[in-house]
Amino acid sequence: MNDSIDGLSALVTGGGSGIGLGSATVLAADGAHVTICGRTEEKLVSAVDRISPMVGGSGSISYVVADICDEAQMDAAVASASERTGALDILFANAGGSLHLGPIADADIAAVRATIDLNLVGTAISFKAAVPAMKRAGGGSIIGMSSGAGHFVHRYLWAYGVAKAGIEMLCRYTAEELAIDGIRVNAVQPGIIDDELMEFITAGGPLLDDYLAETPIGRVGTVDDVASAVRFLAGPGSSWITGEMLAVDGGHHLRRGANYGLLFG
């Protein structure tokens, strides 16, 4: 089967670092016209400099500053990503993060709302912005960013987990609705990944030990592990897959979630 994405247009949110940067690199290396977006221009410029030597085929790499929680900015980001081909073929809605950690009884509700807005609402806005441009392309692939925490319980990581669980249902609903338009919607569920966001864990300590004890393939994941899964879901090789949540976690989902209470001593 031809799994080429050469010449296709792609938008990667949160593309300035970590999994977003790694995935944008793989897509561009395989010939896609990749646009990365995020809120910090300096980080995006640095990412483009890193990706540029890796671009393959007829691909390209560019950036646009945009906040996924702002509809107008995301419309502009999709328009920028569509400039070369007139449409959008691939969206990796990667941007997100956790702004709350701790017991429900002590919750900072403002931080809970911010976590849900950043992850779930921001992803919904990204999907909404991408759909018209994907319809112009005659179809496409949307990939959401979930987490093991959105699939099974990680103690005290509940606000983030609830937001990611919402993304998974968003992906399922969108997959069912948009299949008629040739648009597939899936998500990845990374486990513990050795990147900037997880460095406070992967540097070592009881929480890392807990992750590894509950991960059958007993190592932390890499950005490339997730980027390879994103590349698969983006391309024609996954053309009969939609509404799927793909765990990229070394088997962590087969056991129990991590205990973030270990951060509190």
Q: How many residues does the chain have?
A: 265
Q: Which two tokens stand for residue 182?
A: 């040739």
Contact 146, 188 (CB under 8 A): yes
Number of other residues whose CB lies within 10 A of the CB of residue 4: 14
Q: What is the DSSP string of 183-248?
A: EEEEEEEE-SB-STTTHHHHT-SHHHHHHHHT-SS-S-B-HHHHHHHHHHHHSGGGTT--S-EEEE
Catalytic residue selected from 160, 173, 211, 260 = 160
Q: Which two tokens stand for residue 197?
A: 């966001």
Contact 115, 163 (CB under 8 A): yes
160 is catalytic: yes
Active-site residues: which are they? 160
